[in-house]
Amino acid sequence: MSTPLVDQFTRARSQIDNDFFNQGIAAQPASPPPLPQVGPQQRRNGETHYPRQMANHEDLALLRTARDLRQHVLLGGPPGCGKTASVEAAFDSLFDPATSPGLQTLIGTAETTVGDLLGTYLPDRTPGVAPGTFTFVYGPLTIAVAYGLPLLIDEITLIDPGILSALYAVMDGRPHLLLPGTDIPPVPVQPGFCVFATYNPDAPGSILSEALASRFAHHWQVGTDWDLALELGVPPEIVQVARNLDGQRLDRNNGLLASPQLRDLLIFRDQVPQFGVEYAAGTLAAKAAPENQDQILEAIQMIYPMASITRLGGRYGR
């Protein structure tokens, strides 16, 4: 029922809402300028890595700034899209055989142990040392903490959450890393330590727990740079097929859990002159999960009709 009092209250409430909304718009801080660019980087494997866009920043610049601020970064995406490459490109330059072991890495699996992170006792085979002597050898986490280096953990969501508890304390800002079961004093966390981790959300056994996710200040979703694939000489028609398949993968409604990414396309590019396009296309489809092979092969056959799953046949020449 509308009455003068109700109408007055409604108008007043509307004015309050409008004022609050307008204040909220005005209160939005201006976006800072892009971080200083890092530019293309020569990786230790000899490849050139070209920076990519992340918001209004260069990804390598953002990764380095995150390390300076000790803000941990989690990168998610399918295998072969460039997650690990971005982190390695940002920090490969830290390696110096005389002064720094550089970026520390660990590949996570279901069998990863606390010792794989922190280190373990191993036989000391130094000449002159008594047989049966064991020495504690630092693991990648301990080295990263002690030297103030970034730590990259690939496929972190495959590691048992109980094992990762050894990592949580220093990610939370504790000033020392404890090495249980040893007589080694706590290791001070040096400036420059920061955790970078990757994961594939569709990998069997991948679990991104809230306890793990909450410790990363930056969460990135990574996909293939299709323009880079073209610049690197991948045929445009197979790039378009892979791009379409990736769109179906992201749709999540058609059962496609994986699709060709940059690493797969570069292998295809290299195989075409060596073994022929039909073979390269067939093995591109064959590497997919069995339940997805037909779907991927059908897409590839739209441009390469003679392609088929690469299967070993009978005796050669008969």
pLDDT in tens, 230-240: 999 999 999 99
> At 21, is the pLDDT very low, low, confident or very high (cuts 50, 70, 90)?
low
> At 31, is the pLDDT very low, low, confident or very high (cuts 50, 70, 90)?
confident
Query: In angstroms, how far is the first alpha carbon of the chain from the final one?
Result: 92
Is the pLDDT at 2 greater than 60? The verdict is: no
Cβ(86)–Cβ(63) under 8 Å? yes
Taking the C-alpha atoms of residue 135 and residue 57, their distance in angstroms, rounded to an integer, is 45
Buried b (16+ CB within 10 A) or exposed e, 130-165: eeeeeebebbbbbbbbbbbbbbbbbbbbbbbeebbe
> At 46, is the pLDDT very low, low, confident or very high (cuts 50, 70, 90)?
confident
| pLDDT tens, residue by residue, 124-162 | 888 877 888 888 899 999 999 999 999 999 999 999 999
What pTM was computed for the model?
0.85
> At 18, is the pLDDT very low, low, confident or very high (cuts 50, 70, 90)?
low
Is the pLDDT at 108 greater than 70? The verdict is: yes
Domain-by-domain residue ranges, the chain?
41-221, 226-301
Return the pLDDT at 272: 96
Phi-psi region of 203 (alpha: psi -120 to 50; beta: other; left: phi over 0): beta
CATH architecture of 41-221: 3-Layer(aba) Sandwich (3.40)
Residue 219, beta-bridge partner list: 74
Return the pLDDT at 32: 87
Taking the C-alpha atoms of residue 170 and residue 176, their distance in angstroms, rounded to an integer, is 7
Return the pLDDT at 246: 93
**What percentage of the chain has pLDDT greater than the value 90?**
68
Is the pLDDT at 4 greater than 80? The verdict is: no
Which residue shows structure tokens 């909450």? 214
Taking the C-alpha atoms of residue 279 and residue 300, their distance in angstroms, rounded to an integer, is 12
> At 175, is the pLDDT very low, low, confident or very high (cuts 50, 70, 90)?
very high
User: Minimum mean pLDDT among 18-32, 77-91, 252-266, 284-298: which range?
Assistant: 18-32
Angle value at C-alpha 45, between 196 and 218, nearest 5 degrees: 15
Is the pLDDT at 299 greater than 80? The verdict is: yes
Taking the C-alpha atoms of residue 178 and residue 174, their distance in angstroms, rounded to an integer, is 10
> At 27, is the pLDDT very low, low, confident or very high (cuts 50, 70, 90)?
low
Return the pLDDT at 25: 55
Q: Which position has the higher pLDDT, 31 or 212?
A: 212
